[in-house]
Amino acid sequence: MTKRDEIWPMLPFAEWQETAVTLHMWTQIVGKIRLTLSPWTNHSWHVTLYVTSRGLTTSPIPHGVSTFEIAFDFIDHQLRIEKSDGAHRTIELKPRSVAEFYRMVMEALGDLDLSVGINTMPNEIENPIPFDRDEEHRSYDREYANRFWRVLVQTDRIFKEFRSRFCGKCSPVHFFWGSFDLAVTRFSGRPAPPHPGGVPHLPDEIAREAYSQEVSSLGFWPGNAAMPTPIFYSYAYPEPMGFAEAKVRPDAAWYQPKLREFILPYDTVRTAESPDEILLDFAQSTYDAASKLGKWDRDALREVKPSLHSAQLHS
């Protein structure tokens, strides 16, 4: 394996499809625990997971006067639950059904006096099976789970660089367990028309609140059975006139009418001479198309760098 393959590993969806589906459901279980116990934050930012140097985490979740955190470790392949009083539990990540994983997580939380009830129906997928009855999905390939996380590490790093260029309202770089993607979203500061909804197993009012303001969103998605190709994507809501015909970079990127977004194959980035440069170019050019055609106040939203003197004062 080359150094490049270690940093930007191959991630052919067909090779880890069953693991991806199982892991998707596991992240939904953990994410719904955060959703149930956390105060609402606009655009559902209170439900997401975050990339860490070992995997994915909820960040601290409140439970009475205590907090706890649930973290996937894709190096040692463990799920860790750590409570603010020092108590903790560990669950091995290995081939096991979604139903068994659900039971083990809930039992571990109960042992820590962190009992919680969640809606067991998965979101944003067709033909969902309730977590506590899902004996079908039970795969876990350590190598591919680790590869997926390594892609997220690099993507998170570059997305944060892109985020730093914008001084308007912007989301964190965060992992949405419903859609199973890593995303960062910029906002124009203006309201948007009501979203049509229609996302599978997601209440329309949630989608409408999420898209209540104009956005340009950038993300990474590992693929699914219908589209088994990992991609980077960028879309605008509402989509301004002419967006689909906009010229974006690199040449390998194109507009996908069904998805209503620009897509860039992961392999194009992975094999590029400078993956950082090509991904940042895609991010910037698609944002430029959305914000210019949408007539955003770009001058008010552009990056403001601290002066050298200010930086020295805080060094």
pLDDT per residue as tens digits for the range 112-125: 999 999 999 999 99
pLDDT digits (tens, 9 = 90+) for 47-63: 999 999 999 999 999 99
Q: What was the pLDDT predicted at 291?
A: 98
- Amino acid 42 reads N
Q: What kind and span of H or E run contains 213?
A: strand 213-221
The model's pTM is 0.95
Q: What was the pLDDT predicted at 304?
A: 65
Dihedral (Cα; 154, 159, 162, 163), 10-degree rounding: -140
Q: What was the pLDDT predicted at 3?
A: 81
- Whether the Cβ atoms of residue 188 and residue 287 lie closer than 8 Å to each other: no
- Whether the Cβ atoms of residue 217 and residue 183 lie closer than 8 Å to each other: yes
Q: What was the pLDDT predicted at 70?
A: 98
Mean pLDDT of the chain: 95
Q: What was the pLDDT predicted at 121?
A: 98
The domain segmentation of the chain, as residue ranges, is 10-133, 151-301
CA 296 to chain centre: 25
Dihedral (Cα; 146, 269, 44, 138), 10-degree rounding: -30
- Give me the residues paired with residue 174 across strands: 183
User: Where residue 303 falls among pLDDT bands split at 50, 70, 90?
Assistant: confident
pLDDT digits (tens, 9 = 90+) for 164-177: 999 999 999 999 99
Residue 307 has pLDDT above 70, yes or no: no
Residue 299 has pLDDT above 80, yes or no: yes
Q: What kind and span of H or E run contains 175?
A: strand 174-176
